[in-house]
Structure 1
Amino acid sequence: MKLRRLLKHLLMPAWWARRPFDRAILDAIESAVKAAETGHRGELRFVVEGPLPLALLWRDESARQRATELFSRLRIWDTEENSGVLIYVQLVDRRVEILADRGINNLVPQEEWDSICRGMELAFRDRDFHRGALEAVAQAAHLLISHFPSSGADSNELPDRPLML
């Protein structure tokens, strides 16, 4: 466990960490996810987390490990076509991770998801959370449209509203 990381998470008030994602940005992300899902059979889930719980910090859990845990806990893996995608934003660590279920992961290399993550991180560094989040949703949707185009009948299996933890 790194002391600096531990202190950052423990001393950062959750409301302070989450302030860049106000209601307007959350509404815009929800609308973008909803609109994007009309063009593909995938399911996007956007999760933003402030300070991590002490137990996770004690285990020195990385943003990638936390995203994997949330992918499972939020049942993103449980879509009919194995087409769930998690966009996870860890605000205190300033990391973004994207995980895709096996139906998509077999078609889209992790490097493409990582490129979207690094683009979001650059926008966030410039304090442009709105642009970074919406561009990431659009880029993820583009990949999903390429590999999982809509078949007409769409059942929305995961909530479109971003989850704030």
Structure 2
Amino acid sequence: MLFKKKPLSKPDEQRLIAAIQTAEQQTSGEIRVHFDTDKVDSALDRAKQIFAKLKMHETELRNGILFYVNLKQKQFAVWGDEGINKNVPENFWDNVKDTAISNFKEGKTIDGLEKCILMSGEQLKKYFPLAEGDKNELKNDISY
């Protein structure tokens, strides 16, 4: 959905972009954040759709991660590509989701997303360290 006005303030948007840049500094992995207000049956299914729409599956090592936030329905999902999913511990995505939700419940959406981005960056760094000549394959901006 197109927003008439972005749901994030410029400082909050910049804070999330800075977290993405920090998380990606030592990895070839790619992280994006998407905010939505469309009515959806499943946040996870919608995250998968947005992941494809943003062409995140086209990264060379299939190591992209999308954080999806539905503001209207107060839903959150994380979608990791097959490269990262083969490597992270089984409960990793549950821990990320729990971190987000506990912060969201306290009204700390940006704090929660920032923590999740940095947690994910640590995993990406472990399994997909930055290689010489690596390039940023996806924009670090926030999508709406």
* TM-score, structure 1 as length reference: 0.78
Which residue is equivalent to 2:128? Answer: 148
Cα offset, 1:110, TM superposition:
5.3
Which residue is equivalent to 1:87? Answer: 67
8 Å CA contact 2:23, 2:120 repeated in 1: no
Which residue is equivalent to 2:19? Answer: 32
* Structure (1 or 2) with the greater helix fraction: 1
SS of equivalent residue, structure 2 residue 91: helix
SS of equivalent residue, structure 1 residue 66: helix
Cα offset, 1:135, TM superposition:
0.5
Residue 31 of structure 2, aligned match among 44, 54, 63: 44
| Structure 1 stretches lacking a partner, 5+ long | 1-13
Which residue is equivalent to 1:111? Answer: 91
Deviations 1:94-153 (A, max 9, x none): 221111111111111453112212211111111112211110111010111111111132
Cα offset, 1:15, TM superposition:
6.1
Q: Give distance in 1, aligned partners of 2:110 and 2:67.
A: 14
Deviations 1:57-110 (A, max 9, x none): 4xx521111011111111111101111111111122222111111111111145
Q: Say yes or no: does 1:159 pair with 2:144.
A: no
Which residue is equivalent to 1:97? Answer: 77
SS of equivalent residue, structure 1 residue 160: coil
| Structure 2 stretches lacking a partner, 5+ long | none
Q: Give distance in 2, aligned partners of 1:73 and 1:101.
A: 13
Q: Give distance in 2, aligned partners of 1:83 and 1:161.
A: 17
Q: Which has the larger radius of gyration?
A: 1
Consecutive aligned runs of 4 or more in structure 1 exceeding 4 Å deviation: none
SS of equivalent residue, structure 1 residue 156: coil
Q: Residue 79 of structure 1 aligns to which amino acid in structure 2?
A: T
8 Å CA contact 1:67, 1:99 repeated in 2: yes
8 Å CA contact 2:22, 2:118 repeated in 1: no
Which residue is equivalent to 1:6? Answer: none
Between the two proteins, the alignment pairs up a number of residues equal to 142
* TM-score, structure 2 as length reference: 0.89
Superposition map of 1:100-139 within 5 A: 100-109=80-89, 111-139=91-119
